[in-house]
Amino acid sequence: MPPLSLRYALSFLLLAFLPVFAAQAQLTIEIVGGAGSAIPIAIVPFENESNYPLGITGIVGADLTRSGLFKLVDYAGVSPRPTRAEDIQPAAWRARNADAVVAGSMRPLSDGRIDVRFGLVDVVKQTTLLTMSYTVTPQQFRVTAHKIADVIYEKLTGDLGIFSTRIAYITKQGPRYQLLVADADGADPQTIVTSNEPLLSPKWSPDGSRLAYVSFENKKPVVYVQSLATGQRAAVANFRGSNSSPAWSPDGRRLAVTLTKDGSSQIYIVNADGGPAARLLTSSGIDTEAAFTPDGGAILFTSDRGGTPQIYRASVSGGSTERLTFDGDYNVSARPLPDGKGFAFVRRAANRYQIALMDYATRQVQVLTDGPDDLSPSVAPNSKLIIYANEGGGRGILAAVSSDGRVKQRLVAPSADVREPAWGPLPRQ
């Protein structure tokens, strides 16, 4: 075993990775379609909330509305406003057609922190579903609001909330490329990398602490891994030829990458901190776009070994390789669902590139978007939403679609060409 020859390029030279507030790249979200049966919920402003600059309940309401699974019920005219679960009068809220009501309070503590607490009441069944309290600083209000939205979403839908997650994406403005990380609602974008050469394929480490990406800064594609906390980065695949398409193993210790060091584009495994590359598969055509399955036992990848690009699955411990897509002559960019039930991918039909979903059990393909240039799907940790880029006309925007195809959102950045979104993991508790 050769020593791990880390090519630590602690490059403070070309790339500015210190977090910089990038207001020009702020994404705003428009909901363009909704579920048929949204849950009507009233979110009453918390007691004393108006004493603080950032409205927590406003963020909670926006998160829930954006999921497409909730609609807000007006609280105007309710007097007195409830501040605890036991204050909520079910009959008054049923008269407004609410199914659920949230009420709470914010109280300053002697150490300068704030006690935030709330209750969620099912006014149909007239039961308190949960009460929670948090002791936080004003700097933590936004994070706290997303946490509150998560627990309400989980309680009422049975699925994991993903409002506390982050997304990474690439922007291009003139000759300048940036890799940014923002909250899942598009707020607080931070610049991670800036370069005058293309940046590609950002991928979150499973613990959310690092990003792998491809940079052309050395005039050819090289795969880097960069810590979000320290900005330190290492070239983990910088072999002769092209290095691209990183994909993390679920344990965060290895990456699948596409290399051309031995000829055409083929898939190899490298350690997450660099070192030699071990070839995983062999074909005489193109193999690329590897993605590990959630159990880490297999990869999905794109190959043209059958004459057209299609999606295959291969065991990482040797053994069989299976073709998964057969419909059409272009099926690429497979992204496994975290729940293990299938994968999102890009298909081309009648010259339109669309996001689709394959279910392993039925082998049925469900087309989720219309195209014409929908690319780079990335699945939320709860498997319920897929973010992707619509790159049409060189003016890319991000969009998201629910995995049942019913809820669609557009995420708009005012002035940049946005592409290649990557949905981050659930934050560690």
Partner 1 sequence: MRNFIFAAFLAVVLAGCQSTPTTDTAAPVEDKSATGTTPGASTGGTSGTGVSGTSGTSNPLRDPNSILSKRSVYFDFDSYVVRDEFKPLVEAHGKYLQSNRNARMTIQGNADERGSHEYNLALGQRRADAVKRMMTLLGATDTQIETVSFGKEKPRNQGHDEVAWAENRRDDMVYAGE
Of 22-30, 108-116, 188-196, 325-333, which segment contacts partner 1 by CB under 8 A? 325-333
Least Å from the CB of residue 166 to partner 1: 21
8 Å CB contact between 288 and 17: no
Range 127-166, binding partner 1 (CB under 8 A): none
Among 150, 183, 391, 417, binds partner 1 (CB under 8 A): 391
Compute the radius of gyration of the chain from its Cα atoms. Answer: 23
Question: Between β-strands 39-43 and 100-108, what pairing exists: parallel, antiparallel or unpaired?
Answer: parallel
8 Å CB contact between 226 and 17: yes
419 in contact with partner 1 (CB under 8 A) = yes
Q: What are phi and psi of 92, to 5 degrees?
A: -65, -35
Least Å from the CB of residue 218 to partner 1: 11
Question: Between β-strands 243-248 and 342-349, what pairing exists: parallel, antiparallel or unpaired?
Answer: unpaired
353 in contact with partner 1 (CB under 8 A) = yes
Q: Name the residue nearer to partner 1 (CB basis): 161 or 309.
A: 309
Residues 6+ apart with CB under 8 A from 330: 308, 309, 346, 347, 348
Among 235, 280, 356, 386, binds partner 1 (CB under 8 A): 280
6 in contact with partner 1 (CB under 8 A) = no
CA atoms in the 13 A half-sphere facing the CB of 253: 2
Q: Name the residue nearer to partner 1 (CB basis): 71 or 305.
A: 305
Residues 6+ apart with CB under 8 A from 429: none
Q: How far is Cα 225 from Cα 234, in angstroms, rounded to an integer? A: 5
Among 187, 304, 339, 405, binds partner 1 (CB under 8 A): 304
Sheet with 166-173, edge to edge strand ranges: 190-195, 176-183, 166-173, 417-423
In the chain, the amino acid numbered 429 is Q
User: x/- binding map, residues 10-49, to partner 1, per CB under 8 A?
Assistant: ----------------------------------------
Least Å from the CB of residue 26 to partner 1: 24
Of 51-59, 116-124, 228-236, 311-319, which segment contacts partner 1 by CB under 8 A? 311-319
Residue 90, helix vs strand vs coil: helix
C-beta atoms surrounding 206 within 10 Å:
18
Of 24-32, 110-118, 193-201, 225-233, which segment contacts partner 1 by CB under 8 A? 193-201
Range 232-261, binding partner 1 (CB under 8 A): 241-242, 244-245, 253-254, 258, 260
Q: How far is Cα 266 from Cα 284, in angstroms, rounded to an integer? A: 9
271 in contact with partner 1 (CB under 8 A) = yes
In the chain, the amino acid numbered 136 is V
Interface with partner 1 (CB under 8 A): 1, 4, 198, 200-201, 216, 219-221, 241-242, 244-245, 253-254, 258, 260, 263-265, 269, 271, 275, 278-286, 288-289, 302-309, 314-319, 321, 329-330, 332-333, 346, 348, 353, 373, 375-376, 391-394, 419-420
